[in-house]
Amino acid sequence: MSSDIRVATFDCYGTLVDWEGGLGTFLYSLVLQHEDLPPENGAAMRERWEAIQFDLIRGDYRSYKNVLAESLRQWMTERGYPWREEDGPALLRAMRAWQPFPDTRAALQQVRQAGWKLAILSNTDRDIIAHTLRQLDVPFDEFVTAEDCGSYKPSLNNFERLLERVGEEPAQVLHVAFG
């Protein structure tokens, strides 16, 4: 690890937390509530939902809870499923429980032991990330959410806010993300 780096920042979902497994499982279970036949694989369903979600976050800012519910509503409508008001909160509850990848905690502890600060930059709301931080069970020095910024990554605004919060020059920060 470079001695110039002082802070490791992370995207959270998909990088530290098993976003694909959690979302795929949720969508697969939802389909089984509406169809007798087994659905197509979870990856195909997840990819379509993600495309809808990414279109929503490119528009005007709205809370991530709203993005979750609206993207799920659109996904269900495409599939011909009836929308129930409890479906959006069900996805939110599921997301709050998604688990870190098996190697996440050990890797984060190793980085912390090397003397680096840890921070998260996430396209989510503060109350959602609070649940995830409990699941990670590793102390973070900072976290910045889309809710804090009023915008979603890849907006430069989000990265600038993160740099302000960690108090380091960009050359001292390593950002880790899965995509």
Q: What is the pLDDT of residues 102-135, one digit of tens each?
A: 999 999 999 999 999 999 999 999 999 999 999 9
Burial of 12 (0-12, 13-18, 19+ CB in 10 A): buried
Residue 170 has pLDDT above 90, yes or no: yes
- DSSP assigned state of 60: S
* Residues 89-106: tens digit of each pLDDT: 999 999 999 999 999 999
Q: What is the DSSP letter of 38?
A: P
Q: What is the pLDDT of residues 35-61, one digit of tens each?
A: 877 667 778 889 999 999 999 999 999
Q: 2 pLDDT exceeds 90?
A: no
pLDDT of residue 1 exceeding 60, the answer is no
